[in-house]
Structure formats: C-alpha cells, structure tokens
Amino acid sequence: MAEMRLEGVRKVYGGAVVALDDFSLDVADGEFVVFVGPSGCGKSTALKIIAGLEPATSGRVWIGDRDVTEFAPARRDIAMVFQNYALYPHLSVRSNIAFGLRMRHQPRVEIDRRVQEVARILDIESLLDRRPRALSGGQRQRVALGRAIVREPQAFLMDEPLSNLDAKLRVHMRAEIGALHQRIGVTTIYVTHDQTEAMTMANRIVLMRNGVVQQVADPDTMFEQPANAFVAGFVGSPAMNFFQSRLTKGPDRPVIEFGDATLPVQLAPDIFARYAEQDVLVGLRPEHMSIGNGTHSTVVRPNLVESLGSERYVYFPVPTANTVGHATFVSQDEDRRANTMIARLMNVGRIEEGAPLPLSFEPDRIHLFDPASEQAIN
C-alpha cells in the first residue's frame, strides 16, 4: 500500500494531439480515487501512464517513495483490472489468478495458499478449475479482481471494470468492489465514464475533459459546488438544466429572471458588481424544482412526461428569453437541447402533457456561471 503522486504529467500523441495536459494529483494511502469524464477525456491515458503501459511525454509519476516514471510496468508493483478482464482463455481460473505470482517465481506452496485465500474472499472457490469461457460475466469480473488482489500490490488500477456487465450486475459489483476496498484498503484508481459509479464509489473524484482536469473533489462537494458548467452538467442525473438570464439588482439580493418568475440569488457584492446588468449562465438541478405555487414559481407547459413510478421527469420548453444562445458546455445527455428543461418531481400525481403546470424553485440552489469561461461565480 502506498500513496501516489503525479507531477505535471503530459501526454502528446504524434506531436499534435494533447491527450493529457499538466495532470497533477496526490493520492493518499488507501484512498479510492475515481477518474471520470466523457470518452476521449484522457482518463484511460492517465491510468496507462501510471501503470507504465504508455510513456508520459513529460512529468513524473511517484508510487510510494519511488519515482517510477522510467520503470517498466512489472517494477511498479501495481495490479490492473481491465475493461475486458483480459483473462487468458487457455488457462484455468486458478492459473489465471496465479499468473502474476508465477511470473515472479514465488514458491508453489505460497502460490496455492494465496490463490485459495483470494478465491475464498471473492467466493469463487468452486470455479478454480474452470476455463474463463465457462464463466458468466460477473464471475469473470471476480476472477479479474482476484488476479489483481492476489499479488498484494501497492495500488490497484481499474480501467472501466464494470462497463461490460448488465445494469443489475453492475450495481451489485459496484457495491462489492467498494466492500473489497474497505476490507483490504489498498490505494485504488478507478476509471469510468459513468458519473453514478464515480459518485457512489469514490473518496475523491477527478473529473476530466479534453485532457484537462476540471475539478478534484469528494462526491458531495462536486455535486454541490461544481467548479464550472461542465462539471455541473456532468455530475447528477438527470443532468443540470442550464438557461441564460440577465443579472439585475433586486430589493435585497441580486435577481435573475426565468419566464415571469424573479429569483433572488446568493452572490458576493464584488462579483455582482462585475456581472451586474449582464447575461449569466444559470444552472438549476431537476430535483430542485417542485410542483405547486410557492414564493418563486412560474407556470410551464410540459411537452413530455416520463414516469419512473415514484418520480416523474417533466420536460418543458425554456422561455425564449432564457434560451442559451451558445451552448458550448456538454451535459451528460448531450441530446438534450438547450431549449428544454427537466424537472424531477417526487411523488406527484398524474401530469398532463400540454396542460399548465405550476413549478416553484429553490433559489438557494441556483448555480451561476460566467457565460464565456463557464466558471462558477457563486
């Protein structure tokens, strides 16, 4: 077990494509850190650089107190779990798990003992003599985990290990990996594109986009205080709604307008001075709206209502005055256009599409972003 440090790691492909830019991170001993972001954000590249499977163009990688930047993967004392499990089809489960120990010429008795122990932890003792192709997806996943933990390495690297499982099994294995981490407490770096996995498993999340780290924070902070509109749109499901509004002076606090509703916002006076009488990007999470008339409410006409049983997703058009002209930020579900918003309403009755629906807002939960830089301003 060890801490890990990345110092200004940069990766450039073919002299032009920057896959990873100035990536620095300190990972504490025993921490579970999740790299998350859309495809092509550089998260897998970062993991491969840590594993030593790809060289960094510049920067240093430390594992424990050793600078491993120039080390081959074998010398870094890490174990990796791959998306496709990378189990060897010609070897039995037992040999697959024992592979790393055998390559390191451990005594046979010791190998057998450790394989048995790992099989017991992962509950795959009955599968040891099978070939991988005779296993289900979840069992293969366990074998892949077994191959990693049997080595008792300094750190685990996991590259989207759950993305080949079906939704139900994924939730189950997610919990299992979490429990396993708590039990053996090895420093883990976990790569995923699924924000739910990141939110549920991580001690800390590293959210990336186009090779650049957007924010490093624990899940709650990332949800409540996103550093920019991209982070705000990526974390949370359904994704945050964005609209545009002019920031003006209200009776006691600065206000924004949404349709015919006037919403007071929290803003430091000096920041307000900078953005007063200008358009800002406003973020409002679907769950921070509720049905009925309140202090701050407006009437919308839903054009689509999705029922999930206990909750309903109500889609309604953004008033023309509030539509974001330049939607450069990327939300999790990109197909949602800038002129539609979603409200996530809990335990409400039937909602008619097209009929007027009063919605009230929680102004304290409103996020404001700079329209150009998209950085959070409140």
Question: Closest CB to other proteins among 52 and 283?
Answer: 52
Query: Looking at beta carbons only, is 84 or 293 nearer to other proteins?
Result: 84
Distance in Å, CB of 73 to other proteins, minimum? 4
Amino acid making up residue 168: K
- Shortest approach of other proteins to residue 59 CB, angstroms? 20
Rounded alpha-carbon distances, angstroms, from residue 281 to 28, 107, 204, 261: 35, 63, 27, 16
Does the footprint of other proteins cover residue 94 (CB under 8 A)?
Answer: no
Decide if residue 178 touches other proteins (CB under 8 A): no
Give the shortest CB-22-to-other proteins separation in angstroms. 25
138 closest CA partner among 146, 44, 187, 115: 146
Give the number of residues in contact with other proteins, rule: CB under 8 A. 26
User: Quick check: 40 and 191 in contact, CB under 8 A?
Assistant: no
Nearest distance, CB of residue 34 and other proteins, angstroms: 20
Nearest to 262 by CA among 324, 321, 339: 321
**What does the block give as tokens for 109?**
């008795």
The nearest distance, CB 115 to other proteins, in angstroms, is 14
Please name the helix (run of DSSP H) or strand (run of DSSP E) that holds residue 47, with its range, or none: helix 43-51
Give the span between the Cα atoms of 236 and 77, in whole angstroms.
Answer: 35
13 counts as binding other proteins under rule CB under 8 A: no
133 binds other proteins (CB under 8 A): yes
Structure tokens at 152: 């008792």
Place of tokens 């120990």: 101
Enumerate residues 33-92 that contact other proteins by CB under 8 A: 51-53, 72-74, 78-80, 82-86, 88-91
In whole angstroms, how close is the CB of 86 to other proteins at the nearest point? Answer: 4
Q: How far apart are alpha carbons 367 and 267 in whole angstroms?
A: 10
Rounded to a whole number of angstroms, the minimum distance from the CB of residue 113 to other proteins is 18
CB of 146 to other proteins, least distance (A): 12
Looking at the Cβ atoms of 87 and 341, the one nearer to other proteins is 87
3-state helix, strand, coil in the chain (%, to 5): 30, 30, 40
The DSSP result for 311-334, as a single string, is: EEEEEEEPPGGG--S---S--SST
Whether a cis peptide bond, with omega within 30° of 0, leads into 238 is yes
Closest contact distance (angstroms) between CB of 103 and other proteins is 4
- Nearer CB in complex with other proteins: 44/241: 44
Q: Judged by CB, which is closer to other proteins: 19, or 345? A: 19
- DSSP secondary structure string for all residues of 336-361: S-TTEEEEEEES-----TTS-EEEEE
Which residue of 142, 147, 288, 336 would you call a contact of other proteins, by CB under 8 A?
147
* Contact by Cβ (8 Å): 52, 76: yes
Give dist(CA 158, CA 32) in Å, integer: 11
104 touches other proteins (CB under 8 A): yes
One residue of 37, 43, 69, 100 binding other proteins per CB under 8 A: 100
15 touching other proteins, by CB under 8 A: no
Distance CA 18, CA 41 (A): 10
Looking at the Cβ atoms of 133 and 168, the one nearer to other proteins is: 133
| The only residue of 22, 99, 203, 365 in contact with other proteins, by rule CB under 8 A | 99
Binding-site ranges for other proteins (CB under 8 A):
51-53, 72-74, 78-80, 82-86, 88-91, 99-100, 103-104, 131, 133, 147, 151
